[in-house]
Chains A and B, each alone.
Chain A
Amino acid sequence: GENVEQHPSTLSVQEGDSAVIKCTYSDSASNYFPWYKQELGKRPQLIIDIRSNVGEKKDQRIAVTLNKTAKHFSLHITETQPEDSAVYFCAASIGAAGNKLTFGGGTRVLVKP
């Protein structure tokens, strides 16, 4: 089955700096890669996703890149703000099996004002 590794487990950045989180996956059939943000005690919320036919996607301060050959994808947050502080999860799924997501272990991001 799919295995998703996520690094780093914690990340502390100064407000205004960039944050980068990296994930690797094992199943070359994976074709959908969402990123979720989870604040303490709240539900995971989708912030951006990318499909395997695209190498990069950007939405305001958030961007995701995908390298299918190397089987890794990354989340980039620019101009970080204190409200970006949360736990971020990457995930991978195989379309033929529905939206069954395999999640990484999460990255706790702390943006210091």
Chain B
Amino acid sequence: GAGVSQTPSNKVTEKGKYVELRCDPISGHTALYWYRQSLGQGPEFLIYFQGTGAADDSGLPNDRFFAVRPEGSVSTLKIQRTERGDSAVYLCASSLTGILSTEAFFGQGTRLTVV
């Protein structure tokens, strides 16, 4: 596709449930990022992949959050035992390379609501 694609666009889940959020980056982009954006705030860094490996996961808030990118393309953000405080828009971005600051293109995001 032409841009970064995220599915689903909206997800409502009950507290304590497990969710998976998917990101399809721009073809050929080796770097992939997950951010979380709460209402009225700027995006907050979660994790960065260079290829298949997580180069920086320092933004993951706790061990309930995990992300994978097994083939260096599609990535899945996984949240276990969801809490109401996890409600936010989860944004994925990709860039051609993670080195020397190339432009990061964002997806539309997945709006997660934990009830």
Kindly report which residue of chain A lies nearest to residue B92, judged by CB atoms.
A43
Name the one of B40, B43, B99, B105 contacting A101, with C-beta atoms under 8 angstroms: B43
Q: Is the CB of B95 within 8 A of A99?
A: yes
B interface, size bucket: 20 to 34
Q: Is the CB of B43 within 8 A of A89?
A: yes
| Count, chain A residues at interface, CB 8 A | 27
| Nearest Cβ on chain A to B81's Cβ, whole angstroms | 27
Main secondary structure of the interface of A (DSSP, over half): strand
Q: Is the CB of A98 within 8 A of B98?
A: yes
Kindly report which residue of chain B lies nearest to residue A103, judged by CB atoms.
B42
Residue of A97, A100, A105 contacting most chain B CB atoms (<10 Å): A100
Q: Is the CB of B31 within 8 A of A98?
A: yes
| Nearest Cβ on chain A to B107's Cβ, whole angstroms | 6
Name the one of A6, A46, A51, A97 contacting B104, with C-beta atoms under 8 angstroms: A46
Please list the residues of chain B having a beta carbon within 8 angstroms of any beta carbon in chain A. 4, 31, 33, 35, 40-45, 48, 50, 55-56, 91, 95, 98-109
